[in-house]
A and B are shown apart, each in its own frame.
Chain A
Amino acid sequence: MTKGIRLNIKGDVSSPDIINDQWTSEAVSPKFLLQGPGSFTTDASGNGQDTVIHGLTYSPAYLFYVNPCYSGVATPASKWGIIDNVYVGVDSSPELITIYTAGAQPNTTYHYYYFIFVEPAAT
């Protein structure tokens, strides 16, 4: 016996096709909790950070896209990645997510756009 719900308006719903289903209860689809823009400005030492409060009791999954100062290209950020030759990190914690940089150009504003999901970053 198979239990579940599938939505497939383009293919044959009687044949399992998890990739092409528009929705299926066999997979968890990320649900948005919060999204929005933010920014932070580095200090004279090139360090800076910002926080986004989500209020969850666990560390949620997230996506942060950072606009580097010179190019305007919105690039995905990671735990500790390189963007425009400087390190930009993102940490997901209970209650809040922190985005930060160290050793970047001083007094420089970094803009970002964030998506925070209901789903935990780790289970």
Chain B
Amino acid sequence: MSKGIRLTKADQDISDAASDEFYIDTDNPLLKLYKASRGSQHFNGTLNEFYTITIPHNLGYRPMYFLFADRIPGAKRRIVTNIDNSIGNPSIFVNLQRCDTQIIEFTMGFLGGTPLSGDYGYNYFIYYDSLDSGYDNV
């Protein structure tokens, strides 16, 4: 006996549609967004100017997340990882510091090059989906 709900894309036969032709298939759960927001950090544009930005989530486990930050004020936003590999100018260094059961934390700052002053934007998406639980397949 099969239980569940399936919703196919337009013009697809639900009886033989491939898995990626469903909008919804309860055999394959959807991403669940917990929190999404944005912010910015003002930089005066001096060497060794660093800021730590903390995003609380308090979920009690490490969640799936995406974090994006500007490379120049208001532009060149890209995903933040554990180590930044930006080279030359603009020289802002964005580095993921923590992703734990309560917070996600990253630093932004200038190590060298020619710092640009201005407001550096960032945005993030945090999901209910855990990085720690679910040792079995979905």
Contacts and interface: CB of A to CB of B under 8 A. Distances in A.
A30 B42 CA distance: 35
Interface string B78-106: 01011101000000000011110000000
Given A28-B23, A73-B99, A113-B132, A35 B79 contact: no
Contacts of B37: none
B29 interface: yes
A115 B24 CA distance: 17
Q: Chain A interface residue count: which class?
A: 35 or more
A75 B25 contact: no
B82 A84 contact: yes
A25 interface: yes
A14 interface: no
B83 A85 contact: yes
Interface string A60-102: 0001011010010111101001111100000000000000000
B138 A76 contact: no
Given A73-B82, A120-B20, A3 B97 contact: no
Given A32-B30, A85-B83, A115 B129 contact: yes
Contact of A71 (B24, B25, B82, B135): B82
A85 B135 CA distance: 28
The 3 closest A-B pairs by CB, nearest first: A75-B82, A31-B28, A113-B131
Interface of B: 7, 9-10, 19-20, 22-25, 28-31, 62, 64, 66, 79, 81-83, 85, 96-99, 129, 131-132, 134-138
29 contacts: A3-B10, A28-B23, A29-B23, A29-B31, A31-B19, A31-B25, A31-B28, A32-B129, A35-B129, A35-B134, A35-B138, A36-B136, A37-B132, A37-B135, A66-B82, A68-B82, A73-B96, A73-B99, A75-B81, A75-B82, A75-B83, A75-B96, A76-B79, A78-B81, A81-B81, A82-B81, A83-B81, A84-B82, A118-B19
